């Protein structure tokens, strides 16, 4: 485990060094902000509503990228026995990730390796995030058929808190509708993080609109099937690059 965590740190440092050493004109910077709303149940069936403003900064050079993301969140939790409501808001956890994409031969077109670190910037007492550092290592394969992209991912996440380490897998498909519209669906599975919870199974449907060369809007909806913490969610993401 220690070796793999060191590998994630090294991957992020290598990707960042690669971008810094690139010619400035080849570097693409993307800034994004969005709106996210979800409803579900928390632990002992308390009703949970989460509203957040996710944001990210991504720097990319060729097939190498580094990304930092976080969110401002507001959570409302209603006790299922007393109907009392608690309200908390603040900064969520912060994530730093690095991704290296490779051109692959034979059946697949691309494959990537991504390392991600979660830093505990959220207030855990208000339920806005978990404490401790998380480390995630994942790989994704990409295959193109005409105007369609198919993806398959595997990941493992180590957690330095009361939650379990988990394996997850994701399958996705997207279709180019026109020069400015793209639509897709993602099916995501993750092992249960606690004894009291179930395995997580979610589906995501999204539509992307390229308003012009530098601005992109993504509308998405999420449906949870197994873990009731996320019953359903929807959101909008706006990104601008230069």
pLDDT in tens, 154-190: 999 999 888 899 999 999 999 999 999 999 999 999 9
* DSSP letter (8 states) at residue 102: E
Per-residue pLDDT, 213:
87
As a whole number, mean pLDDT of residues 196-220 equals: 92
Q: Is the pLDDT of residue 235 over 90?
A: yes
Mean of all residue pLDDT scores within the chain: 87
Per-residue pLDDT, 43:
60
pTM of the model: 0.87
Q: Is the pLDDT of residue 23 over 60?
A: no
As a whole number, mean pLDDT of residues 80-94 equals: 85
State pLDDT tens for residues 8-19. Answer: 666 666 666 666
CATH superfamily, region 2-241: Autotransporter beta-domain (2.40.128.130)
Q: Is the pLDDT of residue 2 over 70?
A: no
CA 70 to chain centre: 10
Q: Is the pLDDT of residue 24 over 60?
A: no
Spans of all domains in the chain: 2-241
* DSSP letter (8 states) at residue 162: S
CA dist 232 and 224 (Å) reads 6
Share of the chain above pLDDT 70, in %: 86
Reduce the secondary structure of 7-73 to three states and give it as a string. Answer: HHHHHHHHHHHHHHCCCHHHEEEEEEEEEEEEEEEECCCEEEEEEEEEEEEEEEECCEEEEEEEEEE
Asked whether 157 and 163 are in contact (CB, 8 A), the reply is no
CA dist 208 and 235 (Å) reads 12
State pLDDT tens for residues 218-232. Answer: 999 999 886 556 789
Higher pLDDT, 4 or 84: 84
């Amino acid at each position: 485990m220690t070796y793999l965590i060191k590998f994630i740190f090294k991957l992020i440092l290598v990707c960042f060094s690669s971008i810094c050493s690139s010619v400035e004109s080849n570097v693409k910077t993307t800034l994004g902000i969005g709106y996210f709303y979800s409803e579900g149940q928390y632990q002992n069936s308390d009703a949970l509503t989460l509203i957040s403003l996710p944001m990210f900064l991504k720097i990319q050079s060729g097939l190498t990228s580094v990304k930092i993301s976080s969110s401002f969140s507001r959570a409302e939790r209603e006790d299922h026995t007393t109907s009392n409501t608690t309200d908390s808001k603040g900064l969520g956890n912060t994530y730093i990730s690095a991704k290296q994409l490779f051109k692959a031969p034979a059946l697949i077109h691309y494959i990537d390796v991504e390392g991600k670190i979660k830093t505990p910037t959220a207030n855990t007492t208000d339920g806005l995030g978990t404490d401790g550092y998380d480390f995630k290592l994942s790989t994704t394969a990409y295959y193109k058929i005409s105007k369609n992209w198919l993806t398959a991912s595997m990941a493992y996440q180590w957690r330095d808190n009361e939650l379990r380490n988990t394996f997850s897998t994701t399958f996705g498909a997207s279709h180019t509708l026109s020069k400015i519209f793209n639509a897709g669906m993602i099916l995501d599975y993750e092992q249960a993080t606690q004894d009291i919870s179930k395995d997580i199974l979610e589906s995501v449907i999204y539509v992307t609109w390229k308003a012009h060369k530098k601005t992109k809007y993504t509308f998405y909806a999420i449906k949870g099937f197994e873990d009731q913490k996320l019953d359903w969610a929807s959101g909008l993401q706006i990104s601008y690059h230069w």
